[in-house]
């Protein structure tokens, strides 16, 4: 049983390293850093990535969250007064 949980953690960590997936975009780097602090405090897995050139809006850093954590991450940011400029799905 515990080996299954450990495997799930490895899959999640690997998924966060992949530059494809679901990303939160904030207007400024300052807001992105606030989101980083909030997500870390809430225990929501995330990873920061440089913003692709094809994405025009927002700051130069985007926040990747796992699809299963998107609703919770969005709600936590909203509850803390952070406005998410965009949610991207990069394939």
CA distance 52 to 30: 18
Residue-number span of the structural domain to which 74 is assigned: 2-90
Instruction: Report the pLDDT value the prediction gives residue 13, as an integer from 0 to 100.
Output: 52
* Number of domains, the chain: 1
Lay out the sheet containing 21-25: strands in order across. Answer: 46-50, 61-65, 21-25, 86-90
Give Cβ neighbours of residue 5 (< 8 Å, ≥ 6 apart): none
Q: What is the pLDDT along the chain (91 residues), one digit of tens a residue?
A: 333 333 333 334 557 777 788 999 999 999 999 999 999 999 999 999 988 877 777 788 999 999 999 999 999 999 999 999 999 988 8
The domain spanning residue 83 has which CATH number? 3.30.70.1530
Q: Give all strands (DSSP E) within the chain, no chain letters.
A: 21-25, 46-50, 61-65, 86-90
Looking at residue 74, the DSSP 8-state letter turns out to be: H
pLDDT of residue 44: 96
């Amino acid at each position: 049983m515990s080996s299954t949980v450990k495997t799930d953690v490895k899959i999640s960590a690997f998924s966060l390293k992949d530059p494809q997936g679901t990303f939160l975009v904030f207007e400024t780097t300052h807001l992105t850093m606030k989101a980083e602090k909030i997500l870390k405090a809430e225990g929501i897995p995330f990873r920061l990535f440089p913003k692709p050139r094809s994405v025009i809006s927002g700051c130069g850093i985007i926040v990747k969250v796992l699809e299963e954590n998107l609703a919770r991450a969005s709600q936590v940011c909203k509850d803390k007064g952070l406005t998410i400029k965009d949610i991207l799905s990069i394939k």
